[in-house]
Amino acid sequence: MSGLTSMTGAARAEILARTRAALTRAQPPGPVVRDYRTTGDLQLGSPELVALLTDRLVDYRAHVHPVGTEQISAAIAGIAAAHAGGAARFVVASDFATAWRQGWGAVEDHGLSPRELDETDGAVTTCRVAIADTGTLVLDAGPGQGRRAITLVPDLHICLVRHDQIVQTVPEALRRLDAGRPITFISGPSATSDIELARVEGVHGPRILHVLLISPP
Amino acid sequence: MTTFLGLPGGLPHADRHTGQVEGSLRFPDAARTALADGQLRTNIGAATRTIRTKRAAVVAEVPDWEELREAGRAIKTDTMARLPELLLQLEENVTARGGVVHWARDATQANAIVAGLVRAVGATEVVKVKSMVTQEIGLNEALAERGITAWETDLAELIVQLGHDKPSHILVPAIHRNRAQIREIFLREMPGVDSGLTDEPRDLAMAARRYLRAKFLTAQVAVSGANFAVADTGTLTVVESEGNGRMCLTLPQTLITVMGIEKVVPTFSDLEVFLQLLPRSSTGERMNPYTSMWTGVTPGDGPQDVHLVLLDNGRTATLADQVGRAALHCIRCSACLNVCPVYERTGGHAYGSVYPGPIGAVLSPQLTGITGGDDPNDSLPYASSLCGACFDACPVKIDIPNLLVNLRAQHTEAHADTHRIPSAEQIAMAATAWAMSSPSRWARAQATTRAGRLLGRRRQVIRALPAPLSAWTAARDLPRPPTETFRQWWAARDAGEHR
Ligand code: SF4
């Protein structure tokens, strides 16, 4: 490895020198003008914003369930019953609220191997923020979300979104994020159009995506 | 140290024989083969039409699209001007978060670094996320020579790999294959595949899912590219659709990311521009299914051994050209391919390089350098009708026609330097270039081709010219001369801005 490091150390100096040489006569660029929208027109928490997100999610063929806080457990149990005859085992992060685990089989993740994750029926998580314009759920491994692998290996993902987590535009979402965390943008189930441009859903990620849109109490 | 600026052969170019930055045939010859393939033309035509329509619809619903494009252009221009400082900042931030940064002058060195890292963890296999740069450097072949197998995990790349074939489109690399051909490839090349496999796309995709899942669950090492690398945070980003990217970026213990030095962006908030521009321009979606961002190592989540290989391979030479460097702004969306009348007819293989279409025609020759000889990449700047559709479609406003004209002028100059007795085709080429290389000559050429120009105004191409230009139009249509912009450009060039 030390040979490798010194080899790339020389390359580093050389590439930086080349880059500087290439720019010796460059004109300083003009300022970066940011005239694009950084907020949407829709009010945070408004029914219109929730409707826009719903529309986009349905467009991606995600299953959308509008629920109140007290209905969360029942909604998940309903999906579990429909999915695996009630015997479904869904992975959750260890800090996923116990109040929402009633009536269905939650498996806490304490470092499950990829194979063990593969044997579960799905994952249930919260999210960091959702983008209505694009129908995007953003996870950042924060509270209730767990590590990235749990929403990837199992075949089904149930994502909980509170109305106050919905923003309209991409810039609003980015501005709520901490770049240092592992971040995943999810916009519908995984998909491919690689064969004659025919859309096929669920190639490697979860094939089924349920979104619980949770209204304030 | 400054005398070489703008001159071919100054800063080192990519080795045209390592990896895939140049094909073996000149464009007109390769295009002839492609044009004779009816299936290819039908598939590419259908693909580009479909994606064009989808793109137009999702771009139309963004009220501030032009403002986003302008911001994208400005951020990239600013990035190139500050590249050394941004690369150092990126390195510092990746390192601070537990990642290891490597620098590679060229393809050979990048391949050696990756192979060394794979060996260091004792692996003999790697899983790969679709990445153009690793195709550019021929990583899979280089690893194979060292006994390491690289598995492509993107469905289209898998089809290409199993078919012992080459990608034909940036975005849908297997678009030249139809479902029956793909079924045949899978039956022949995919170990353990169900012999009852149908040619339904869903069935084929599920066969790939089963086949690759076993690899994802056991892979020790993944190799990826990066769409963006954020200097001020050290964050790397991969934009994808199928989830194979997430599998590679999340499950293995070791992650090696190879990226061209031009992929850096200054700040995390710059992503708010590119994450709007890229998916809509690329797949015609409001957002692609999955985007992953990671910063060095996150304890307990994902790979714990994280590497970033920063590659030059002709990029600094490209950067030295004040016009040509705009090719480095490309975010690889493929919108310019889908609107290009030349690409639509020839497909990607005719361009030889891993970078096809209009962007390939300006990027590949700059990476390898224009020699003025018979090198295939020297023919690429002529593989265009200069109709300008690529410029209009480009989400970061790269003026590709202007870059093509710049390269044609370079080719003529280099040609004059190296050839004393040109071939017949070169006479035609040179005559055209000669005519185009001076405003007064160009004006005269235009005056003698008024009919062609009037025709060209309607159809954007000229189908006949008087000799000596006629020799060239026999091979392909001549673009309607972009007199205004050309002259303006030339005036600026003569005023010393260029060299
Ligand atoms: S040149 Fe522009 S349109 Fe073409 S692939 Fe690059 S970013 Fe997209």
Q: Running DSSP on this structure, what letter comes out for residue A130?
A: E
Residue B3 confidence (pLDDT):
34
Ligand 1 atom 2, closest CA: B394
Distance between first and last Cα of chain A: 58
Residues from chain B contacting residue A184 (CB–CB below 8 Å): 246, 290-293
* A152 within 8 A of A109, measured Cβ to Cβ: no
pLDDT of res. B494: 44
* Ligand 1 center from residue A35 Cα (angstroms): 22
Task: Answer whether A155's CB lies under 8 Å from B261's CB.
Answer: no
Contacting residues of A for B68, CB less than 8 Å apart = 36
- Ligand 1 centre to CA of A8 (Å) is 30
HEC string of B63-79 equals CCHHHHHHHHHHHHHHH
pLDDT reading at B489 higher than 90: no
CA distances from A217 to A97, A137, B388 (A): 17, 22, 55
Q: Up-side HSE of residue A42: CA atoms within 13 Å toward CB?
A: 20
The C-alpha atoms of residue B28 and residue B5 are separated, in whole angstroms, by 30
Protein residue closest via CA to atom 8 of ligand 1: B333
pLDDT at B382 over 50: yes
- State the nearest Cα–Cα gap between A41 and chain B, in angstroms: 12
pLDDT for B298-356, tens place per residue?
A: 999 999 999 999 999 999 999 999 999 999 999 999 999 999 999 988 888 889 888 99
- Note the pLDDT tens digit of each residue in B191-219: 888 889 999 999 999 999 999 998 999 99
Q: Does pLDDT of B490 surpass 60?
A: no
Contacts of B32 (CB under 8 A, 6+ apart): none
CA dihedral defined by A164, A165, A170, A174, rounded to 10 degrees? Answer: 120
pLDDT at B449 over 80: no
Last residue of a domain, one of B420, B437, B465: B420
B312 touching chain A per CB within 8 A: yes
Pocket, ligand 1, Cβ cutoff 6 A: B 281, 330-336, 359, 393-396, 398
Instruction: Check: CB of residue A36 under 8 Å from CB of residue B71.
Output: yes
Minimum CA–CA partner of A170 in chain B: B272
Same domain, B284 and B412: yes
**Of B420, B445, B472, the domain-final residue:** B420
Same domain, B207 and B66: yes
In the predicted model, is pLDDT for residue B275 greater than 70? yes
Q: Are both B445 and B477 inside the same structural domain? A: yes
- Is B437 in the same domain as B411? no
Last residue of a domain, one of B420, B436, B469: B420
For residues B113-118, average pLDDT: 98
d(CA B14, CA B64): 38
> Helix/strand/coil (H, E, C) string of B197-218?
CCCCHHHHHHHHHHHHHHHHHH
Residues of chain A positioned with their CB less than 8 A from the CB of B93: none
pLDDT in tens, chain A (217 residues): 444 555 678 999 999 999 999 998 777 788 899 999 999 999 999 999 999 999 999 998 899 999 999 999 999 999 999 987 767 899 999 999 999 999 999 999 999 999 999 999 999 999 999 999 999 999 999 999 999 999 999 999 999 999 999 999 999 999 999 999 999 999 977 888 888 778 888 788 898 999 999 999 8
- For residues B455 and B353, membership in a common domain is answered with no
Torsion of CA A11, A15, A16, A17, to 10 degrees: 100
- CATH code of the domain containing B256: 3.40.50.10420
In which domain, by residue range, is B249 found?
A: 1-420
Q: Which of A46-50, B375-379, B455-459, B485-489 has the highest mean pLDDT?
A: A46-50
Residues of chain A with C-beta less than 8 angstroms from the C-beta of B204? 195
In terms of Cα–Cα distance, which of B331, B123, B104, B299 is closest to B222? B123
pLDDT band at B495 (very low <50, low <70, confident <90, very high): very low
Cβ distance of A36 and B64 shorter than 8 Å: yes
Q: What is the model's pTM?
A: 0.87
Same domain, B432 and B333: no
Q: How far is the CA of B357 from the centre of ligand 1 (A)?
A: 9
Strand pairing report for A63-68 and B228-230: unpaired
C-alpha B412/C-alpha B375 separation (Å) is 13
Domain range list for chain A: 40-214
If asked whether residues B390 and B429 sit together in one domain, one would say no
pLDDT of residue B263: 98
Chain B nearest-CA distance from A52, in A, is: 13
Which burial class, exposed, middle or buried, applies to A25 when counting CB atoms under 10 A from its CB (0-12, 13-18, 19+)? middle
Under 8 Å CB pairs connecting chains A and B tally to 274
pLDDT score for B24: 87
Tell me: do B379 and B446 sit in the same domain.
no
Maximum distance among all alpha carbons in chain B?
72
Provide the CA B219 distance to its chain's centre, in angstroms: 28
- Condensed to tens digits (0 to 9), the pLDDT of residues B212-264 reads 998 999 999 999 999 999 999 999 999 999 999 999 999 999 999 999 999 99
Same structural domain, B228 and B295:
yes
- Domain match, B470 and B332 both: no
Contacts of B12 in chain A (CB under 8 A): 18
Q: Which atom of ligand 1 is nearest to the CA of B334?
A: 5
- CA–CA–CA angle A74, A76, A81 (5° rounding): 90
For tokens 């999340």, the residue is B250
Entry field: residues in chain A: 217
Looking at the predicted structure, is the pLDDT value of residue B61 above 60? yes
Distances (CA, A) of B384 to A57, A150, B184, B389, B402: 40, 48, 35, 11, 11
pLDDT at B82 over 70: yes
The domain A40-214 is placed in CATH, from the list 3.30.9.10, 3.50.50.60, 3.40.50.300, 3.40.50.10420, at: 3.40.50.10420
Q: Residue B42 has what pLDDT?
A: 84
CA of A84 to the centre of ligand 1 (A): 45
Q: Are residues B114 and B193 in the same domain?
A: yes
Q: Is residue B202 less than 8 Å (CB to CB) from chain A?
A: yes
Q: Do B313 and B453 belong to one domain?
A: no
Q: Which of B316, B318, B366 to mutate to test the interface with A (most CBs of A within 10 A)?
A: B316
Rounded CA-CA distance A97/A88 in Å is 18
Query: Ligand 1 centroid vs B399 CA: distance in angstroms?
Result: 10
In the predicted model, is pLDDT for residue B173 greater than 60? yes
Residue B454 pLDDT > 60? no
User: Which residue carries 């149930």 as its tokens?
Assistant: A158
Residue that is written with structure tokens 């005036």 in the block:
B491
Going from the Cα of B262 to the center of ligand 1, the distance in angstroms, rounded, reads 14
β-pairing, B149-152 with B125-128? parallel
B127-149 pLDDT, tens digit each: 999 899 999 999 999 999 999 99
- pLDDT averaged over every residue in chain B: 84
pLDDT digits (tens, 9 = 90+) for B99-110: 999 999 999 999
B64/A184 touch (CB, cutoff 8 Å), yes or no? no
The pair of three-digit structure tokens given for residue B62, joined into one six-digit string: 């963004």
Higher-scoring residue by pLDDT: B407, B475: B407
ipTM: 0.95
Number of domains in chain B: 2
A-interface mutation test, from B88, B285, B334, B338, most A Cβ less than 10 A away: B285
CA distance B433 to A35: 40
Residue B393 C-beta-side C-alpha neighbours within 13 Å: 31
Q: Which of B181, B245, B44, B159 is nearest to A197 (CA)?
A: B44
Residue B459 pLDDT exceeds 50: no
Chain A residues within an 8 Å CB radius of B213: 118, 204
Greater pLDDT, A45 or B420: A45
Substitution candidate for ligand 1 out of B334, B337, B339 with most atoms within 8 A of CB = B334
* pLDDT for the residue B439: 53
